Amino acid sequence: MDHLTKLELALAVTRYGSPGKINTQLRRRGVGTLEEHREQLDSASRRQLRAVAEDLLSQGVTAVLRETSEYPRLLDQVSNAPPVLFCSGQLSLLSAHSIGMCGSRRVSDEGLRAATICGSVAAGQDLVSVSGYARGVDMATHISALESGGTTIIVLPEGINHFRVKREIASVWDPSRVLVVSQFAPTQTWCAGGAMTRNSVIIGLSLALVVVEAGERGGTLAAGQRALELGRRVIALQFSDMSPGNAVLVGSGAIAVSNPAELSSFLHELRYVADEPTRSGFAQQHQDALIPSSWASPP
């Protein structure tokens, strides 16, 4: 199936279909159900879809459809995973081992330093850092991953037409090491519900979720709880005083990690279990030697 056809089918689903119903039909009848859905549209709607698809393709956007080999295996294990993903950038990152990162937009200074360290540690373990492109923890993680020579996936809470390279990440931006993903119709604007839904994709793409600093309530805590419900490992960072939300998550089964070396060791083991080890013992020891001794240390 060519890229233009994939985009047409994805647009038909996000603009005219119900993702829940489409998922059920996909499970029963495969990708052919998307083609049937498109064929049911009137000729004017189909012409409009073709024009929009051509415009997206000219901007370097493609679509990944559920029930195809391109769809991420881990995300496909989530029952309500989106039937389509609009993507721009290094598509191969969808099949790479990834680690999710989340935390508050109003993060403390220590939390911000920790997020920066997390992005660097993940890069050192050949793990893609997946986050949501919001200010605070998300942005610190994306920037640190790229500064450290690693890769990152940006999962948007809105349509891909609204994506822009933000000023704070522009100096390290490398299209060959970034993938931008959206499950929404390209023109959909930001809303709180979209941000919460986006978190499920971050979790679904990732071997584990690192929670930097969760409050007593809010999206970060909800993301950690959702990851636990899905059976994903949750790593809750522990500073001198553990944040209230992180303490709740640890009480529910999350793993408390008190320093960067512990995080590196855990991610190394996670990477080892997920696939053949890519580093020798010496390389791992060398990597650990470069890691700050605490979350409060300068990254």
Segment 50-67, tens digit of pLDDT = 999 999 999 999 999 998
What sign for the dihedral angle of Cα 189, 192, 197, 203?
positive
User: Is the confidence at residue 29, as pLDDT, over 80?
Assistant: no
Residues 6+ apart with CB under 8 A from 105: 134, 135, 136, 137, 138
Q: What is the pLDDT of residue 172?
A: 98
Q: Which SS3 state, helix, strand or coil, does residue 56 take?
A: helix
Residues 123/93, Cβ–Cβ less than 8 Å? no
Q: What is the arithmetic mean of pLDDT over 192-206?
A: 91
Residues 167/193, Cβ–Cβ less than 8 Å? no
User: Is the confidence at residue 277, as pLDDT, over 50?
Assistant: no
Residues 6+ apart with CB under 8 A from 263: 117, 118, 121, 210, 235, 237, 257
User: Is the confidence at residue 18, as pLDDT, over 90?
Assistant: no
Structure tokens at 216: 């007593």
User: Is the confidence at residue 91, as pLDDT, over 80?
Assistant: yes
User: Is the confidence at residue 12, as pLDDT, over 80?
Assistant: yes
Give pTM, 2 decimals: 0.90
Q: How many angstroms separate the CA atoms of 77 and 93, rounded?
A: 18
User: Is the confidence at residue 286, as pLDDT, over 50?
Assistant: no
Q: What is the arithmetic mean of pLDDT over 133-144?
A: 96
Give the rounded distance of the alpha carbon of 239 from its chain centre: 24
The average confidence (pLDDT) of the chain is 88
Q: What is the arithmetic mean of pLDDT over 145-173?
A: 97
Each residue's pLDDT tens digit, 110-130: 999 999 999 999 999 999 999
User: Is the confidence at residue 282, as pLDDT, over 50?
Assistant: no
In the chain, what are the domain boundaries? 3-68, 93-289
Residues 60/90, Cβ–Cβ less than 8 Å? no
Q: How many angstroms separate the CA atoms of 271 and 273, rounded?
A: 6
CATH class of 93-289: alpha beta
> Between residues 226 and 193, which one has the greater pLDDT?
226
Each residue's pLDDT tens digit, 171-196: 999 999 999 999 999 999 988 788 88
What sign for the dihedral angle of Cα 182, 187, 193, 195?
positive
User: Is the confidence at residue 283, as pLDDT, over 60?
Assistant: no
Confidence of residue 280 (pLDDT cuts 50, 70, 90): very low
